[in-house]
Structure formats: structure tokens, C-alpha cells
């Protein structure tokens, strides 16, 4: 009798062991050659000269020409360089090219290759590598479809002589220079670059394990100022709570883009750098649907809300009000007065609504991507604020991909809260999208004056005149209340107090080469 | 018995096949496709078209399913859209972490709940029983991830028994891995253990009231001999079934807890792959989890037969 019980318990024990034995089988395959050698973590040098950075977003591709998200680009900045690279002041400086000239009509860009630049594999950068890389960006390995959109205007890429390369555009552009930050990679490495990144940057790729980490070592053959740190590990940790705990336990030395909700956790014992995220958060309105097609309704909504209250609630006051589609990091284009153009005024809001034929308000659905807590919170504050003038808000939380396909691409929505950043980080990107036939004009904004101002800006070859046109476009977006522009959200970088040398760039860049131990 | 087994095996395979079809269909219904996470939301229609062709997304759904199925049968799970590496290679290290975590959780549940359940039933109404019952109620009502955060805080930051976030698949040493995983395993195991204790206690107490127990006592058996030889044998039947079924839950619980303890397991991979619409990866994980569930149910069934003689031959 008792035997049967024994047998059952034995079987149970076997069942308990089953996953363990399965583990035994798979454990071996886990030891892929791409894993970092144990020495990296076990035998740290006497004086620690490495840093582990916590990042929330996984690095889905290491191919610099295919990296679409800002979270990936900012890490790859340390591995790759273009002919030019962005600098902390928001401009560009020479990298693989030592110098450049732009033709009078702004259509031909000529670059002088720098002497003595080598790839991480030790090979010198040649004209062939440069031509290969630029042509790849223009689509040579993608059925002619450019990997980087700005390259669709490129008509010719050719070597002038051994050290000069010329890029010709179909129409004049002042901003194309920013696209020349596109990485230079070894000739013919297109198929392997994603798994075996080889660039010319201050750090050389060591290993990458999906959803875990990327390890990079200082490249001693670097042409420029060498990095201070010997090794940098980017650890991918998606949960903000875990990120903070890992920071406190010493596993992480530094964390970037820490959500503001966690700020209080790291107040003591860490250095906190505060900046903004270089994007514009707004209640984006679909200008093509009723009643939002009426400018009075949009203005009434702008008067009904209190932007500062949102910033206080969502960012503990650390965000910066924008008032238009431009963020403060673009100092040249930022107009602070627009941020205060609409002061909360409920009477005026009701009056405008009445004029437009909605004295009792209307029903408004705000669609929010649920993975962004800050946008959801903003929508909740807006619900309260708009309710004061009779606008009944329904918040519809959707998953990110649904948001992309229905709201952003499909334009089937009424209003949405999200943050819009510029693809290539130029001021132009923040404005060009809202021309009436713009491919990215997801708010269906339609204003002839605006189209004219932007067209003039693009065609302009004079910097001063161009800037004036863009500023005019920004004013129109504000006057027309094309959307309810709210703020540039706050961005936190937290690190151990011994670390110094960190600088915020005006764009999405995390420059690890200047960071050092005191 | 053999016939029953063969039938069950057939059913098992059919279930798995059905799961793959459903997973495939689900993905064709929900909005969005993998191109936006690969190319960014602002990709041009030309870029999207080229990529869709490269990934084979331009084919009709039945054809994509057939391609996937025939490749899967040949042992090729395809290539991840996002990571551009073979799904098998991507999953292997993650799978080992998750399965190790699940196994450890299961062992913990058994080790914690069976002695506690027996003790608690044996001293029903006593102080120990009352303490256990209250602890049970509390543990059962706290979700896994909250337990996880509390454990990380206590053992990671206050007591410093482990370094939160230090686990990587490069942590080769099994002992070291287990040392780290014991904490997430505890987070997974606690709520489950509480349920098992409650169930075992109830099961034992109801058996205690049966006629055959009175008979056993009247034959002069001591209390412990009655408990071990008569009561437990019957009381364990529902519990064993419950435990076997709980394995599916443990795997699900591991997926949540992995996030809290930054264990690079299947959970994080699954969540991000669903978000990115990385079909081949999701498909493979769904099949794997479904297989674990189906196999565990099958094992529960077998155990049932072994333990309960009345089911023999059926």
C-alpha cells in the first residue's frame, strides 16, 4: 500500500527534476562564442576603470544605417563615426573627414578625408570604404530604396581625387550636413555589420547579448582624443524599479533616461544631471475631424488647459513649456514667448466654444499609447482641465503598435498625447512634417500660410532668411493652435558621484568618451 | 492503458498544432506589423515595401503559416525580425534561465508547502495552524511582482545577500546562478505555496472525517500511522494534480518576476517580441509554453492513475 504512495512521490520528484534536466541540455548551447569572456567581470583591474550604464531600451540592431530609434543611435554614437559627427554645441565637427566645403548653391558637399583614421580592425579608412558606406545609405543594398531617408535627394556620390569625396543633391539643402553623420563602415561589411560592428569611434565593439548587454572597449588606435574609460558595458534593464535597485547595489554605475517618478529614489548618494528629452509632448489634434477643424475650438481648448499644472504633475515641474513644435535645445529656433501665449482663461474658452457653436462643449476621445506613463498621466490631467468647459474626455489607452498603425499612420483618431522628436534632430524636421501634404503630417494640419513659410525656408540658401521663415512657421502653429503644445519632458541621467565629465548633447547622443573617474 | 496513452499523445500534438494556428491568426488580427519597430515610425512606404518583401510578409497568411510549420518541423524556427539572428540561438540562453527559475520555484513550492500543510492539518485549530492560515491569506493576496520588489529590497539592498541586476547569461557558474535565482524563485513560489498549503490542509482534514479513518483508528493505529499510511495517500491526489497544473502558472509567474529581478529569460523576450511584432520569436515561445502546459497536464493525468487505483485500466 505505502509503496504506491512512494511511487507517486518518486514520480513527482522526477517531474520536479524534469525542467532541471532540460536545463542541463540547453545549458551548453547557451555558451555561445559571443558571450563576453569571464575575465571581463571577474578580474577587474586594481583601479576600476570601467563603467556599466543602465539603458531601458534594447539595441535591436547594431547596423548604424538601419538603427531607427534614438535609444539605439545614442549608444552607437560611441562605436561609429560619419564623415562628420555632431558635437555638444549642436553643430557638427569633422570626424572621418577633416574638413568640408558646401557649394554656393548648397547642392554639392565636398569632404576631405582625414589622414590616419583606422577602423577598429586596424585597417585604414580608404576612399572605397567611404564610397561604399555612403552608397549603402542611399540604398545600394536595399533595392535602391535609401536606408536613410535624407539620402533620397542624393543624385551622385563620387571621389573627386584620392582624398576628396563629393555628394551631389537634387535640390539645395543647408541641413543635409547632419545626414553626413551617417557611419563609415568597411567596404563590403553590409551583411556582417549588425553582428560584428566595425567602426572608427572611440570605443570598439566587444560583445552583444540580446536583452542583456553590449560591451565596448576603448579603441587605442582612435584618431582623436582617446576615451578615459577602458571599458563600457551597456546593461539593458527595462524596469525602472530594477534599474534603481541595480544602481544602489552597485551593479550599475550610471543610468540614462531615468523616469522622473524615480527621481526621489536617487536623491542621495548620486549625481543627477537634469535636462530635457528633445521632443515636444502635446495633445495632438486631428485637424480634419469635427469639431477640431474649427480654429476657435482648438484655441478654446488651449485656453481651457493649464500647461504648468501638467508640467508640475507629470514632471515635478522639470519639463519646459514649448508653445509650438520646437524644443528649447534648438536655441536658435526656440521662441519662449510662444510658451506663454495661451494663459488659462475659462471665460475666453467658453466664449470661443460658443462662437463655434459648442456652448455646452462636446465629447472628445484621447487615444494614448499605454506604454508611456507620462503621456497617460498627461491625458488624465487634460481630462480634468477640459471638463471645466464642458468637453467630456474619454481616454482610450492602446498598445504602441496599434497606436502607430491607427493613430500615427492611419490618422484615424480625434486627439492623442504623445511626444514627437525629430528623426534627424534638425529643427527642420520638427516643422516640415506639418505642411498640408506632408507624409508625416498626422494631425492633418492645413494652412496655406504655413506651407508657404516652410517652402520658403527650405528653398532658402541664406541662413538668416531661413531661420526667419522657420520662426514664422512656429508662430503659425501656435496661433492656429494646430495642437495643444505642452512641453519638452524632463530627462534624468544619474551616476555615481566619483564619475565626472558627462555632457548633455543637444541631440540624442550619449558620449561615453569624456566620462572618467575623479 | 497503452491505447489511452496513444490517444492522449495524439490529442497533445493536436493541441500544440492548434495553438500555433491560433497564435498565427491572433497576430494577423491585431494592428501593426514588424516594420515600424525595425524601420522606425517614419519610414517611407518604399522602405516598408522592400522590408516586407525581404521578410516574406507580402505572402498570404496561409502560405506564411505553411512555410513556418514546414520549417519548424525541420527544426528551423526561423530568424528573429528584430535581432536578425536564428530564433533557436536567441532563445537557448533565455530558455535555460526561465526553466531553471521555474524548476527552482517548483522545488521551493514542494519543500515549503507539503510539510507546512501536513503540520497545519495535524495541529488544526492550534496556534501553528492559525499562524499558517493568516500567513497564507496574506501571501495569496499579494501579486508575484510585489513580492519580488519586496524581496529585492530586503535581500538585495538591506541585507545585501545578492546584487540586484547582476544576473547575466554569462554567469556561467551553476551555483552562482542558483544563488541569484533563489530570490526570484521565492517570489514565484510564495503565493503558489500558500495555495498549496491551504489545499493540502483542507484535503487532509476532509479525509480525516471519513469512515475508513475511524476504522483505521479502531484497529488500534496510532495517529501518525493513520496520517501517513491512510490519510495522506488519499489527500495527496488532488494536491499532486494541482501541483502539476501549477507548473504552467509557475512558468507564467516566472515571466513576470524575471522583469523585476532583471533575469534575462523568456519573459522579457516574449514581452518585447509581442510589442515589436517579432512573429517568429513569439511563435516559438508560445509553442514552448504551450508544450510545457500540455505535457504537465499529461503528467498530472499519469500521476493520477498511478495514485488512484480506481482509475486503473480506464
The answer to whether residue B84 scores a pLDDT higher than 90 is: no
The answer to whether residues B143 and B196 belong to one domain is yes
Say what percent of chain A tops pLDDT 70. Answer: 90
pLDDT band at B263 (very low <50, low <70, confident <90, very high): confident
pLDDT band of residue B313 (cuts 50, 70, 90) is low
The verdict on B117 and B222 lying in the same domain is yes
Q: Is A73 on the interface with B (CB under 8 A)?
A: no
The reply to whether B42 and B147 lie within a common domain is no
Question: Do residue A68 and residue B165 have CB atoms under 8 angstroms apart?
Answer: no
Q: Count of domains in chain B?
A: 2
What is residue B51's predicted lDDT score, i.e. its pLDDT? 87
Q: Indicate if the pLDDT at residue B251 is higher than 90.
A: no
Q: How many CB atoms lie within 10 A of CB A105?
A: 10
Q: Choosing among B41, B225, B253, which should be mutated to test the A contact, i.e. which has the most A CBs within 10 A?
A: B41
- Helices (DSSP H) in chain B: which residue ranges? 2-29, 35-39, 45-55, 61-73, 87-122, 127-140, 144-151, 174-208, 211-218, 223-226, 232-261, 266-275, 279-307
| pLDDT of A66 above 90 | no
Size of interface A-B (CB pairs under 8 A): 207
pLDDT at A477: 96
Q: What is the pLDDT of residue A10?
A: 44
Band (pLDDT 50/70/90 cuts) for residue A207 is very high
pLDDT at A299: 96
> Is the pLDDT assigned to residue A80 strictly greater than 90?
yes
Mean pLDDT of A43-56: 76
Distance from CA of A36 to the nearest CA of B (A): 7
In a domain, B16, yes or no: no
Binned at pLDDT 50, 70 and 90, residue A24 comes out as: very low
Phi, psi (degrees; rounded to nearest 5) at B110: -65, -45
Answer whether residue B14 is part of any domain: no
Residue A40 has pLDDT above 50, yes or no: no
Q: Which of A19, A38, A399 sits opposite B99 (nearest CB)?
A: A19
DSSP-derived secondary structure for B181-213: HHHHHHHHHHHHHHHHHHHHHHHHHHHHTSHHH
Grid cell for residue A189: 561589411
Torsion region of B32: left, alpha or beta (phi above 0 gives left; psi -120 to 50 gives alpha): left
Tell me, yes or no, whether B168 and B41 share the same domain. no
Question: In chain B, what is the straight-line distance between the N-terminal and C-terminal CA atoms, in Å?
Answer: 7
Partner B contacted by A210 (CB < 8 A)? yes
Q: Which residues pair with A165 in a beta bridge?
A: A111, A159
Q: Over the stretch B193-219, which tens digit does the pLDDT of each residue have? A: 888 888 888 888 888 888 888 888 888
Q: Which of B19, B47, B76 is the last residue of a domain?
A: B76
pLDDT tens-digit readout, A343-394: 999 999 999 999 999 999 999 999 999 888 889 999 999 999 999 999 999 9
Residues B40 and B168 reside in one and the same domain: no
Whether residues B132 and B241 fall in one domain? yes
Question: Helix (H, G, I), strand (E, B), or coil: what is residue A15?
Answer: helix
Inspect the interface and report whether the beta carbons of A68 and B38 lie closer than 8 Å.
yes
In a domain, B5, yes or no: no
Question: What confidence score (pLDDT) does residue B266 get?
Answer: 87
- A26 interface with B at CB cutoff 8 Å: yes
B58 and B111 co-located in one domain: no
Query: Nearest Cα to A247, choosing from B265, B256, B157?
Result: B157
Tell me what pLDDT residue B312 has.
Answer: 60
DSSP code at position A157? E
Architecture of the domain whose range is A2-15+278-490: Roll (3.10)
**One domain for residues B124 and B62:** no
- Cβ distance B42 to A31 less than 8 Å, yes or no, reads no
Residue A37 reports pLDDT greater than 50: no
Q: What is the mean pLDDT of chain A?
A: 87
Buried-exposed string A29-63: b where 16+ CB fall within 10 A, e elsewhere: ebeeeebbeeebbeeeeeeeebbbbbbbbbbbbbb
Q: Which domain holds residue B72?
A: 32-76
pLDDT of residue A154: 93
Judging contacts by C-beta atoms under 8 Å, the chain B residues touching residue A249 are 156-157, 160, 163-166
CATH 3.90.76.10 describes domain A80-181: yes
Asked if B176 and B96 sit in the same domain, the reply is yes
Is CATH 3.30.160.100 the right assignment for the domain spanning A203-277+495-517?
no
Output A4 or A460, whichever has higher pLDDT.
Answer: A460
Length of chain A: 518
Nearest-CB residue to B163 (from A211, A251, A401): A251
Report how far residue B40's alpha carbon sits from residue A428's, in angstroms, rounded to the nearest whole number. Answer: 18
User: Who contacts B141 (Cβ-Cβ below 8 Å, separation ≥6)?
Assistant: none
Tell how strand A271-276 and strand A490-495 pair up: antiparallel
Out of A77-91, A104-118, B20-34, B105-119, least confident range: B20-34
CA angle B261, A318, A484 (to 5 degrees): 105
B23 in a domain, yes or no? no
Query: Which residues in chain A have their CB less than 8 angstroms from residue B50's CB?
Result: 142-143, 145
pLDDT of B172 reads 65
Q: Residue B110 and residue A20: Cβ atoms within 8 Å?
A: no
Domain-embedded: residue B4: no
The candidate with the shortest Cα–Cα distance to A4, out of B229, B217, B177, is B229
Please tell me whether residues B150 and B256 are part of one structural domain.
yes
Beta bridge partners of A495: A254, A271
Residue B7 lies in a domain: no
Cα(B291)–Cα(B12) distance, rounded to whole angstroms? 8
Q: Does A179 touch chain B (CB under 8 A)?
A: no
Interface subset of B 74-133, CB within 8 angstroms of A: 82-85, 89-90, 92-96, 99-100, 102-103, 106-107, 110
Q: What is the pLDDT of residue A423?
A: 63
Same domain, B252 and B174: yes
Judging contacts by C-beta atoms under 8 Å, the chain B residues touching residue A195 are: 84-85
Are residues B169 and A209, on separate chains, in Cβ contact within 8 Å?
yes
Q: Let me know if residue B206 belongs to a domain.
A: yes
CB A246 within 8 A of CB A54: yes
Task: Work out the minimum CA distance from A293 to partner chain B, whole angstroms.
Answer: 24
Instruction: Tell me the range of A106-115, A242-251, B68-77 where mean pLDDT is highest.
Output: A106-115
What pLDDT band is residue A455 in, cutting at 50, 70 and 90? very high
On whether any CB of chain A is under 8 Å from the CB of B238, the answer is: no
Structural domain boundaries in chain A:
2-15+278-490, 80-181, 203-277+495-517
Tell if the CB–CB gap between A35 and B166 is shorter than 8 Å: no
Amino acid at each position: 500500500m505505502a509503496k504506491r504512495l512512494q511511487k507517486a512521490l518518486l514520480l513527482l520528484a522526477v517531474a520536479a527534476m524534469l525542467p532541471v534536466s532540460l536545463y542541463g541540455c540547453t545549458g551548453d548551447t547557451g555558451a555561445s562564442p559571443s558571450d563576453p569572456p569571464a575575465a571581463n567581470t571577474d578580474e577587474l583591474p586594481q583601479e576600476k576603470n570601467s563603467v556599466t550604464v543602465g539603458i531601458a531600451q534594447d539595441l535591436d540592431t547594431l547596423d548604424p544605417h538601419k538603427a531607427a530609434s534614438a535609444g539605439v543611435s545614442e549608444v552607437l554614437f560611441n562605436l561609429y563615426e560619419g564623415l562628420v559627427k555632431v558635437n555638444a554645441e549642436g553643430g557638427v565637427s569633422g570626424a572621418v573627414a577633416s574638413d568640408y566645403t558646401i557649394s554656393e548653391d548648397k547642392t554639392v558637399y565636398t569632404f576631405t578625408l582625414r589622414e590616419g583614421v583606422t577602423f577598429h580592425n586596424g585597417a585604414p579608412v580608404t576612399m572605397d570604404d567611404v564610397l561604399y558606406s555612403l552608397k549603402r545609405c542611399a540604398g545600394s543594398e536595399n533595392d535602391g530604396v535609401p536606408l536613410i531617408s535624407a539620402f533620397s535627394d542624393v543624385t551622385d556620390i563620387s571621389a573627386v581625387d584620392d582624398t576628396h569625396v563629393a555628394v551631389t543633391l537634387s535640390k539645395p539643402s543647408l541641413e543635409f550636413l547632419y545626414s553626413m553623420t551617417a557611419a563609415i563602415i568597411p567596404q563590403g561589411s553590409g551583411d556582417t555589420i549588425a553582428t560584428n560592428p566595425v567602426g572608427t569611434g572611440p570605443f570598439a565593439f566587444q560583445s552583444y547579448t540580446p536583452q542583456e548587454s553590449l560591451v565596448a572597449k576603448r579603441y587605442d588606435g582612435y584618431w582623436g582624443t582617446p576615451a578615459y574609460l577602458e571599458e563600457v558595458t551597456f546593461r539593458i534593464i527595462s524596469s525602472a524599479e530594477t534599474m534603481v535597485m541595480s544602481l544602489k547595489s552597485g551593479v550599475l554605475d550610471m543610468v540614462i533616461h531615468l523616469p522622473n517618478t524615480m527621481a526621489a529614489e536617487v536623491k542621495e548618494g548620486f549625481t543627477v544631471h537634469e535636462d530635457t528629452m528633445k521632443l515636444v509632448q502635446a495633445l495632438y489634434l486631428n485637424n480634419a475631424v469635427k469639431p477640431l477643424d474649427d480654429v476657435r475650438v482648438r484655441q478654446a481648448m488651449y485656453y481651457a488647459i493649464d500647461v504648468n499644472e501638467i508640467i508640475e504633475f507629470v514632471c515635478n515641474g522639470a519639463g519646459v513649456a514649448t508653445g509650438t513644435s520646437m524644443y528649447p535645445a534648438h536655441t536658435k529656433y526656440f521662441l519662449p514667448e510662444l510658451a506663454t501665449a495661451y494663459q488659462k482663461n475659462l471665460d475666453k474658452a467658453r466664449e470661443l466654444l460658443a462662437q463655434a457653436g459648442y456652448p455646452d462643449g462636446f465629447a472628445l476621445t484621447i487615444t494614448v499609447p499605454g506604454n508611456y506613463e507620462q503621456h497617460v498621466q498627461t491625458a488624465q490631467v487634460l481630462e480634468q482641465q477640459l471638463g471645466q468647459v464642458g468637453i467630456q474626455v474619454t481616454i482610450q489607452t492602446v498598445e504602441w503598435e496599434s497606436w502607430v498603425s491607427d493613430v500615427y499612420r492611419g490618422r484615424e483618431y480625434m486627439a492623442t498625447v504623445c511626444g514627437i522628436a525629430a528623426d534627424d534632430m534638425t529643427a527642420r524636421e520638427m516643422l516640415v512634417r506639418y505642411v498640408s501634404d506632408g507624409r508625416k503630417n498626422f494631425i492633418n494640419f492645413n494652412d496655406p500660410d504655413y506651407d508657404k513659410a516652410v517652402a520658403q525656408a527650405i528653398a532658402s540658401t541664406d541662413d538668416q532668411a531661413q531661420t526667419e521663415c522657420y520662426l514664422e512657421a512656429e508662430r503659425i502653429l501656435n496661433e492656429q493652435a494646430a495642437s495643444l503644445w505642452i512641453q519638452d519632458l524632463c530627462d534624468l541621467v544619474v551616476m555615481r558621484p566619483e564619475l565626472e565629465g558627462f555632457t548633455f548633447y543637444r541631440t540624442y547622443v550619449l558620449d561615453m568618451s569624456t566620462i572618467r573617474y575623479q | 492503458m497503452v491505447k489511452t496513452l496513444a490517444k492522449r499523445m495524439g490529442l497533445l500534438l493536436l493541441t500544440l498544432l492548434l495553438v500555433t494556428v491560433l497564435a498565427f491568426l491572433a497576430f494577423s488580427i491585431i494592428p501593426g506589423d514588424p516594420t515600424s519597430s525595425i524601420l522606425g515610425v517614419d519610414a517611407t512606404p518604399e522602405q516598408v515595401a522592400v522590408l516586407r518583401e525581404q521578410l516574406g510578409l507580402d505572402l498570404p497568411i496561409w502560405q506564411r503559416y505553411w512555410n513556418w510549420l514546414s520549417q519548424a518541423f525541420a527544426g528551423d524556427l526561423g530568424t528573429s525580425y528584430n535581432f536578425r539572428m536564428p530564433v533557436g540561438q536567441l532563445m537557448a540562453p533565455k530558455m535555460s534561465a526561465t526553466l531553471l527559475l521555474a524548476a527552482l520555484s517548483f522545488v521551493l513550492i514542494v519543500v515549503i508547502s507539503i510539510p507546512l500543510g501536513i503540520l497545519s492539518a495535524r495541529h488544526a485549530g492550534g496556534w501553528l495552524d492559525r499562524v499558517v492560515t493568516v500567513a497564507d491569506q496574506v501571501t495569496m493576496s499579494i501579486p508575484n511582482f510585489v513580492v519580488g520588489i519586496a524581496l529585492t529590497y530586503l535581500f538585495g539592498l538591506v541585507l545585501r545577500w545578492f546584487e540586484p541586476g547582476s544576473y547575466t547569461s554569462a554567469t556561467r557558474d551553476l551555483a552562482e546562478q542558483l544563488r541569484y535565482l533563489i530570490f526570484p524563485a521565492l517570489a514565484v513560489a510564495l503565493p503558489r505555496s500558500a495555495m498549496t498549503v491551504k489545499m493540502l490542509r483542507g484535503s487532509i482534514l476532509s479525509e480525516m472525517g471519513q469512515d475508513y479513518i475511524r476504522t483505521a483508528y479502531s484497529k488500534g493505529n496510532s495517529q501518525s500511522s493513520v496520517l501517513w499510511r491512510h490519510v495522506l495517500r488519499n489527500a495527496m491526489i488532488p494536491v499532486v494534480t494541482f501541483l502539476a497544473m501549477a507548473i504552467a502558472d509557475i512558468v507564467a509567474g516566472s515571466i513576470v518576476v524575471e522583469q523585476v529581478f532583471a533575469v534575462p529569460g523568456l519573459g522579457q523576450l516574449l514581452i518585447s517580441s509581442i510589442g515589436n511584432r517579432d512573429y517568429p520569436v513569439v511563435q516559438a515561445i508560445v509553442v514552448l509554453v504551450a508544450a510545457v502546459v500540455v505535457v504537465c497536464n499529461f503528467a498530472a493525468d499519469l500521476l493520477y492513475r498511478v495514485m488512484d487505483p480506481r482509475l486503473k485500466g480506464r
